[in-house]
Amino acid sequence: MSGEAKHIAGISLGVMAAGFVATLPFSESLVAKVLQGGFEAGLVGGLADWFAVTALFRHPMGIPIPHTALLPKNRRRITDALVHTLENDWLNKASIEEKIKQVHVTEKVLNLLESKLDTTQVRSALRAVSEQVIQNVDIEPVLPVLERKLKDYMKSVDTAGLLNGFVDRALAEQYEEKAFDFLLAKVGEWAVKSETRYKLGGIALQALDNIELDGFMQFALKSFTGMLNEEKLGGILQNLLLRGSDDLRRPENKNRQAFLAYVRQEIEEARRHEGLRATLEKWKYNLAEEVQLRDRLADIANDLRQQALTFVQSDAYLDEFALPFLRRLIVKLRADETMMARFEAWLQRQIAVLVEQNHSKIGKLVRENLDKLDNETLIEMMEEKIGKDIQWIRVNGALCGFLIGLGLVTIKTLVQ
């Protein structure tokens, strides 16, 4: 309660009492009689208002007079009335929703977001939200769908187009020449080894021994093989292989050119080979049915999840992706009146639902906060907030009583 107002109220009551006492010895005087009536009425009015004001909060002078200490006695009723008034009159659902409709929520949200985009709080929030989204994406229900789609795609691949593409690529990249050179290199590496000489010689001698000729030719063959052994014959064959592979490596070699031309022709013919196309078609379907993609897709998804979590922790994610995306989104929303209207309507619906679900908590919160206060604390709080005005009621009562008393005594004197 305001001490100044209370002090003034006490002074006013004291003035009335002092004036009344001071005029008692001069009751024969007309002026004193009129003033005495005024001070008497002012004293009665001041005391009456003091009693009324005090009775609101406590028993006057501690005496339990009936119908006093109204606030403590009727605390529950007052609280119920206050809660009811808040919920049904001052802050009812309709008034809250109507007030919210007058606020352009979308524009305020966009302005706030735009002004805070570069703050540490927003950057941290973006990282946290992005992490939660990535961590809570459940890929398991999607894996069967992805697996089926991939298998369907494998089956739908144009086999003829795939074969033509392979033939075109093979001819353009000269795979036949590269494969031929690779084989010649391997032959050369094998032929140059010392153990290859003996192997070739042994194979050749065995083959010569198994040849059966007539008469002189058989005798000549035996004489020839008798002059050779595995090493000599193998060396001859080894030299032939090495020289032959070296010759075939030279681009101008006629045999090389003829062989590669034949291979290219066969590769070109593969385009129109129905058996090869049918084999590839069957292989494609069998592969699509037999291959197990689900586990591999799960591994890929988990790898992508970990890479995404690492990426959102970097400044590049915010500076190059998240923040530019939000800025573009804000510009796009503001430029599209239809989208702004839809977003505003959506926000209004969400707020209406929120108000509907939580409106009762307004009264509950007020009731809980009031119930936490004991009577003395609540009275002190109310006197602190409205005590000044209430004390001026006492001052006004004394003054009004004084003026009314003056008027009544004057009238009475005139009438007498």
45: burial class by Cβ within 10 Å (0-12, 13-18, 19+)? buried
Mean pLDDT of 50-59: 63
Reported confidence tier of residue 1, pLDDT bands at 50, 70, 90: very low
Radius of gyration in angstroms for the set of CA atoms belonging to the chain, rounded to a whole number: 55
Query: Which residue pairs, CB below 8 angstroms and at least 24 apart, start in 15-23?
Result: 15/42, 15/398, 16/42, 16/43, 16/46, 16/398, 16/401, 16/402, 17/43
The per-residue pLDDT for range 140-161, each reduced to its tens digit, is: 888 888 888 888 888 888 888 8
Joined together, the tokens standing for residue 337 give 């009146």
Q: Which residues of 72-109 are buried (b: 16+ CB within 10 A; e: fewer)?
A: beebeeebeeebeebbeeebeeeebeeeeeeeebbeee
Joined together, the tokens standing for residue 71 give 């606030």
Q: Name the residue with tokens 């706030």.
A: 112
Q: What's the pLDDT score for residue 262? A: 92
The per-residue pLDDT for range 180-195, each reduced to its tens digit, is: 889 988 888 887 887 8
Q: What's the pLDDT score for residue 214? A: 56
Strand, helix or coil for residue 7? helix
Does 307 score more than 90 pLDDT?
Answer: yes
Mean pLDDT of 317-343: 87
Q: 377 versus 241: which is more confidently predicted? A: 241
Q: What's the pLDDT score for residue 143? A: 85
User: Which of 105-109, 165-169, 365-369, 390-394 bottoms out in mean pLDDT, i.e. has the lowest?
Assistant: 390-394
Q: How far is CA 329 from CA 109, 282, 325, 333, in A?
A: 13, 49, 6, 6
Report the percent of the chain where pLDDT is more than 90. Answer: 5
User: What number of other Cβ atoms are within 10 A of residue 16's Cβ?
Assistant: 26
Query: Which residue pairs, CB below 8 angstroms and at least 24 apart, start in 348-355?
Result: 348/100, 348/101, 348/105, 351/97, 351/100, 351/105, 352/97, 352/100, 355/93, 355/96, 355/97, 355/100
**Highest-confidence segment of 2-11, 123-132, 149-158, 220-229:** 123-132
In angstroms, the CA 390 to CA 376 distance is 18
Does 52 score more than 70 pLDDT?
Answer: no
Determine the residue type at 226: G
Does 285 score more than 70 pLDDT?
Answer: yes
Q: What's the pLDDT score for residue 284? A: 84
The per-residue pLDDT for range 92-107, each reduced to its tens digit, is: 666 666 777 777 778 8
Q: What's the pLDDT score for residue 330? A: 86
Does 47 score more than 70 pLDDT?
Answer: no
In angstroms, the CA 149 to CA 276 distance is 26
In angstroms, the CA 71 to CA 241 distance is 120
Mean pLDDT of 377-389: 61
Q: What's the pLDDT score for residue 130? A: 92
Q: Name the residue with tokens 């005087």.
A: 29
Q: 223 versus 136: which is more confidently predicted? A: 136
Q: What does the mean pLDDT of the chain come to?
A: 76
Torsion sign (Cα): 266, 269, 275, 279? positive
Answer whether 0.85 is exceeded by the pTM.
Answer: no
* H helix or E strand, kind and range, residue 227: helix 215-227
The per-residue pLDDT for range 27-41, each reduced to its tens digit, is: 667 677 777 677 777
Does 51 score more than 60 pLDDT?
Answer: yes
Reported confidence tier of residue 117, pLDDT bands at 50, 70, 90: confident
* Cα atoms in the Cβ-side hemisphere of radius 13 Å centred on 146: 14
Does 387 score more than 60 pLDDT?
Answer: no
**Highest-confidence segment of 42-46, 152-156, 256-260, 372-376:** 256-260
Q: 365 versus 146: which is more confidently predicted? A: 146
Q: What's the pLDDT score for residue 60? A: 65
Q: What's the pLDDT score for residue 370? A: 67
Does 346 score more than 60 pLDDT?
Answer: yes
Report the percent of the chain where pLDDT is more than 70. Answer: 63
